[in-house]
Amino acid sequence: MLKREEWYDLATRLDWDFSYVSEEEVFPPDIAGKTSIPREIWVKEYDAPYKVTYREYVKNQRDKDMRVLAVKDAAQRGNLFERLDRALKSNWLFHYGGVPLAEYQAGVAEARMARFRRAGEWRNLATFGCMDEIRHAQLQLLVPHSYVKRDPRYAWAHKTMFTEEWGSIALRRFFDDQFVSTDAIETSIQLTFLFETAFTNLQFIAMANQSYASGDYEFGNLVQSIQTDEARHAQIGVGVAPIMVKHGEKEKFQKMVDKMFWTTWRVFCVLVGCTMDYQIPVEERQMSFKEFMEEWIIAQFERLMYDLGYELPWYWDIFLEELNYQHHAFQIGLYCWRPTIWFDRKGPSPKEREWLNEKYPDWDEKFGPIWDVIIENINNGKIDKTLSPDLVLLCNTCNLPICFPHPGETQLHTLTYNGRKYFFCSEPCKWIFEQEPEKFAGQKTLFDRFLAGEIQPPTIEGVMKYMGFEHPEEMGDDSWNYEWARMYAKT
Ligand code: MN
Ligand code: MN
């Protein structure tokens, strides 16, 4: 028997020349990636830091699955669901509705790299990546399935991506641009280098830590298990980036990173920002969203870019300023449109408000007055006044609500393309659209569809039905049943 290091390179870097067909026929540029870098360079220089053999992979994955299933059984026998805070569980609903089928699509993206990239090690890592993502999809469908009998909204793990719910449209747009409608090189940078290395890998570590701290070991164990896969297959892009930077495709690389960092930031504000700063029990919060972004995401991303000799995105100052505001604005938006989402939201209790002011010194000045109106309406029994009666303008790039992070200051950005007017939440979202208008111009947000008469009848009831909400028990609600607001009346 040969030792691992004696056969590893030979097995994993296997490549050969074609004699009966052309290179282009085997690796069509539209799907393999248009690149001016010759194949010899990709083959010779591609080197991922993470080494794993198939035998090791299978054994590790089997062990990991066994642990997830064992913890799941123990948690459900111990009635964990009944014991946890409802605001905390609304994060599960959000996560399971948005993530499992996107994981499955990431598996398709990995498969594209596994077949179409011109370096053996890249193809091998992507083969493992593809199996990882199928596993993530399956586990994150399995766990919520056990909760459907307690709350029908857990069925949204399967349902969301097949609806025209506005958040689902936004998520699909994001994933399509990132790794579904892309070639194998774009996938490696946008999905593995940017989204996974810079964002989700770290987010999953933080999410696991936070879950354990909240006594939620089932969810913590699940995301930790997934994170260990991400840490491996995210290395695919780490092998690609230096080759592009070194061999004349730095500008192309920079553009992809600039686009994807911003749109990921937008999704993160909603998915992670609102969750960390509003939905986790305040005494269990380990850090604020801003601290998490600064200490985990930004510090690592800046170092990664610096090591590659790459510049930070042009909008860096805008981004740093938004860290203080954007997700607070989104939380108000989600709260006031809660029947149009499949998970619950709540406002800050007096104790949480103190915490928010400590973490974000001008929180009370900016957002306090808006919450005060909501609180007053709740305490006067006017719940209907806490719901927005109108449709909201959605950004034509990120598809998320155009919320003004500084209340009262309009920052709407617009442009006209082929006779149609487009709206954007921010300068970077407008810039992204301008880079590839032909790619984005035909995409319609829920708001665009309503204006175009595609939603019938054109009433709130018609819109709710169009989005897939037929029963009130499927809609988002106040996760504390307004108790957070009543606390103000008592003090
Ligand atoms: Mn995954
Ligand atoms: Mn992944």
- Ligand 1: centre distance to CA 218 (Å): 17
Confidence of residue 442 (pLDDT cuts 50, 70, 90): very high
pLDDT in tens, 271-298: 999 999 999 999 999 899 999 999 989 9
Q: Examine the pLDDT at 395 and tell me if it is beyond 80.
A: yes
- Ligand 1: centre distance to CA 385 (Å): 40
- Ligand 1: centre distance to CA 414 (Å): 35
- Ligand 2: centre distance to CA 188 (Å): 11
Most confident of 196-200, 262-266, 399-403: 262-266
Question: Average pLDDT in the 391-404 region?
Answer: 91
Cα–Cα distance between 443 and 63 in angstroms, integer?
Answer: 43
- Ligand 2: centre distance to CA 300 (Å): 18
* Ligand closest to CA 102: 1
* Ligand closest to CA 139: 1
Q: Report the range of poorest mean pLDDT among 102-106, 144-148, 201-205.
A: 201-205
pLDDT in tens, 186-227: 999 999 999 998 899 888 998 999 999 988 999 999 999 999
Position 423 scores a pLDDT of 96
Position 1 scores a pLDDT of 86
Cα–Cα distance between 12 and 177 in angstroms, integer?
Answer: 30
Express as a percent the part of the chain with pLDDT over 90: 85
- Ligand 1: centre distance to CA 213 (Å): 23
- Ligand 1: centre distance to CA 410 (Å): 37
Position 404 scores a pLDDT of 79
Question: Average pLDDT in the 40-58 region?
Answer: 92
* Ligand closest to CA 134: 1
* Ligand closest to CA 99: 1
- Ligand 2: centre distance to CA 464 (Å): 32
Confidence of residue 403 (pLDDT cuts 50, 70, 90): confident
Confidence of residue 228 (pLDDT cuts 50, 70, 90): very high
- Ligand 2: centre distance to CA 57 (Å): 15
Cα–Cα distance between 133 and 103 in angstroms, integer?
Answer: 5
Question: Average pLDDT in the 310-325 region?
Answer: 93
Question: Average pLDDT in the 417-443 region?
Answer: 96
Position 390 scores a pLDDT of 83
- Ligand 1: centre distance to CA 212 (Å): 20
- Ligand 2: centre distance to CA 233 (Å): 7
Q: Examine the pLDDT at 34 and tell me if it is beyond 80.
A: yes
pLDDT in tens, 58-90: 999 999 999 999 999 999 898 888 999 999 999
- Ligand 2: centre distance to CA 103 (Å): 7
- Pairing of the two strands 420-424 and 413-417: antiparallel
Q: What is the CATH number of domain 40-391+473-490?
A: 1.10.620.20
- Ligand 2: centre distance to CA 482 (Å): 37
DSSP letters along 283-339, please? GG--S-HHHHIIIIIIHHHHHHHHHHT-PPPTTHHHHHHHTTTHHHHHHHHHHHTGG
Cα–Cα distance between 104 and 30 in angstroms, integer?
Answer: 22
- Ligand 1: centre distance to CA 197 (Å): 12
- Ligand 1: centre distance to CA 32 (Å): 22
Q: Examine the pLDDT at 308 and tell me if it is beyond 90.
A: no
Question: Average pLDDT in the 249-260 region?
Answer: 95
- Ligand 2: centre distance to CA 203 (Å): 12
Position 159 scores a pLDDT of 96
* Ligand closest to CA 135: 1
Position 491 scores a pLDDT of 66
- Ligand 2: centre distance to CA 411 (Å): 34
Q: How many helices (H) and strands (E) does the chain have?
A: 28, 2
Q: Examine the pLDDT at 313 and tell me if it is beyond 90.
A: yes
Confidence of residue 260 (pLDDT cuts 50, 70, 90): very high
Judge whether 233 and 132 are in contact, CB under 8 Å. yes
For residue 215, is it left (φ>0), alpha (ψ between -120 and 50) or beta?
A: left
- Ligand 2: centre distance to CA 129 (Å): 7
* Ligand closest to CA 104: 1
- Ligand 1: centre distance to CA 391 (Å): 33
Position 244 scores a pLDDT of 95
User: Model-level pTM greater than 0.85?
Assistant: yes
- Ligand 2: centre distance to CA 64 (Å): 16
Q: Examine the pLDDT at 408 and tell me if it is beyond 80.
A: no
> What are the start-end ranges of the H helices in 152-297?
156-159, 166-175, 184-187, 201-213, 217-233, 235-246, 250-268, 274, 289-292
pLDDT in tens, 326-379: 999 999 999 999 999 999 999 999 999 999 999 999 999 999 999 999 999 999
* Ligand closest to CA 233: 2
